[in-house]
Amino acid sequence: MTYPSSNQPITYNLEGMSGNARAGILTTPHGPIPTPVFMPVGTRATVKALAPRDLIELDARIVLANTYHLHLRPGAEIVAEAGGLHSFMHWERPILTDSGGFQVFSLAGRREVTADGVRFRSHIDGSEHFFTPESVMGLQQQLGADIVMAFDECAPYPAEKEYVKAAAERTHAWAERCLAAHQQPSQALFGIVQGGVWPDLRRWSAQYLAALDLPGYAIGGLSVGEEKGLMREALEAVMPYLPAGKPRYLMGVGAPEDLLNSIEAGVDMFDCVLPTRNARNGSLLTSYGRLNIRNGQFARDFAPVEDGCECYTCRTFTRAYLHHLFRTEELLAYTLATIHNVRFLIRLVEGARAAILQNRYAEYKDAFLDGYRPTDPEARARNHEALRAGRRARDQHTA
């Protein structure tokens, strides 16, 4: 069944289900996207360490870019002069642009939130930039993405319920203003459900935004430090209230176990910096867990990163070679590791899609997770704290 969106910049065709897991085709002005889909993150109009030809070989169907960062450098007007993001970065497939709402969370020490918008102090040079729903729509129109996100406030975790509710209320008001300011019929505007880890707030937010009849819906404000059980509970509270005929996008989630659990709940789209960031740190994704290629045990290991992986890295090079590249800080290390990690997650969701169409998704998920060792919760908490500490240090350095 094909579902046209409100203004028909995209269509969503549901091809099959396995339980609540969905397989579909999302059609955009720059081509079709089979779902479920993982979107590599190209924050500044580039997926770090990869060229567009690499992404094509990896069969990335859509990439994500960030409005806040592209506004600061090079400026949305320069991108528009170049013909939009597709021409600027030489990427002919679909693009989604985030609105800058995540930076309300990640740059908490450098911004002021008001009812009208958010005043940012640039992490680059300290200059001030006031983002409103209307200005964000204008910037994303200049960037020219196929899918654009409403401006939202991503609340931190932990936070008091009253604050999270107030942030969701601002998100709702800003979504209405984004819809009123949205003038590009070829761009699909997605709303973003907020509400933290409280199921009642999540349900309320989903119902409010669903009433706006937008072309698609995202779930934001998860995977920001909360326990995985709380994330799953919040997600399951949302899903029954999102329109079945619209794509559903879980923002910022990329751990393999989270992808599979969220697909099972009915999510169609994902993005995350996890595969690219981990790759630059020498952490490689495999079907049995993460592998730290810097470890000395790989110095004489002449096997591929993972047997059976068809990516260029695994077809061509050995663990020993990647170990050598990382130990000697050669730039090729980052490219080869990123190729593998991105392809790993794309292949994982491709397998999920095939299993859904064969109505055997639960079997597929269980078979993978039976052999997979996820990052332990304590290590995950340390990683989140390290990211927060890095942001604080960067804020102090650029103050």
Chain center to CA of 309? 23
Ordered per-residue pLDDT tens for the chain, 399 residues = 543 344 468 999 999 999 999 999 999 999 999 999 999 999 999 999 999 999 999 999 999 999 999 999 999 999 999 999 999 999 999 999 999 999 999 999 999 999 999 999 999 999 999 999 999 999 999 999 999 999 999 999 999 999 999 999 999 999 999 999 999 999 999 999 999 999 999 999 999 999 999 999 999 999 999 999 999 999 999 999 999 999 999 999 999 999 999 999 999 999 999 999 999 999 999 999 999 999 999 999 999 999 999 999 999 999 999 999 999 999 999 999 999 999 999 999 999 999 999 999 999 999 999 999 998 665 555 554 554 555 455 455 544
Q: If you search the block for the tokens 């039976």, which residue do you land on?
A: 370
Contact 322, 303 (CB under 8 A): no
Q: If you search the block for the tokens 């079997």, which residue do you land on?
A: 363
Which domains does the chain carry? 2-272 (3.20.20.105), 279-373 (no CATH)
Q: How many CA atoms, within 13 angstroms, populate the side-chain half-sphere of residue 96?
A: 29
Through-space distance between the first and last CA atoms of the chain, rounded to whole angstroms = 53
What is each CA distance from 283 to 15, 333, 368, in whole angstroms?
35, 11, 19
Q: What is the amino acid identity at position 385?
A: E
Active site residues: 98, 271
Chain center to CA of 339? 17
Residues listed for the chain:
399
> Alpha-carbon distance 318 to 192, whole Å?
42
> Alpha-carbon distance 6 to 182, whole Å?
13
pTM score: 0.93
Contact 371, 363 (CB under 8 A): no
